[in-house]
Amino acid sequence: MEIREKTNTDDVAEVVTLATEDLRRVYRRAPTIDGFSSLDAEQEVVSLVAVERSVIVGVVEYCREADSLYIRGLAVHPQKRRSGVGKALVREVEAIATREGKPKVTLSTIKETGNPRIFERLGYCSFNEVTATGFESLDGKPVTKVDMVRMLA
């Protein structure tokens, strides 16, 4: 498996759609007043892809912050789950953080998905839990955002 920076010709839409299909059974973006979800467009987002036999099987997006890299999205093709693709993508972000002299990697995830346990197995610790703004369960109830961190040696 090769992990590299995403190029303009890489099509990650299928992987992201398939990977997030299960999540959409748990939560969705809540509509804002103007009918659209708000995204932070000011931060530069870097995307890495995992490629096997010329096929993109995973993608991770991260942003640079003052003292960390922030993982803002991780998607692995459903047929490649539990095969190390997600772990390899996360570890590559951590390696980039180390090369850049950043002491930690942070991320946020939704508690109801079960994803915090996955990140705990990768060495991440929860440091904050709040009601997620901009997201809701399928029945319109609040969901919980979990902020997590991994300190790098």
Separation of alpha carbons 111 and 114, rounded Å: 6
Which range of residues forms the domain containing residue 13?
Answer: 2-151
Identify the three-state secondary structure at position 57.
strand
Average pLDDT value for residue range 19-45: 65
Tell me: the pLDDT tens digits for 68-103? 999 999 999 999 999 999 999 999 999 999 999 999
CA atoms within 13 A on the CB side of 10: 19
Q: Residue 105: which residues within 8 A CB-CB, separation 6 or more? A: 62, 68, 69, 70, 71, 90, 93, 94, 97, 124, 149, 150, 152
Residue recorded with tokens 């095969």: 83
The reported pLDDT for the residue numbered 39 is 46
**Binning pLDDT at 50, 70 and 90, where does residue 130 land?**
very high
* Burial profile 111-137: b = 16 or more Cβ within 10 angstroms, e = fewer: bbbebbebbeeeebeeeeeeebeebbe
Instruction: Report the chain's mean pLDDT, rounded to a whole number.
Output: 90
The reported pLDDT for the residue numbered 31 is 63
Query: Considering its fold, how many domains does the chain have in total?
Result: 1
The CATH number linked to 15 is 3.40.630.30
Average pLDDT value for residue range 6-26: 84
For the whole model, what pTM was predicted?
0.87
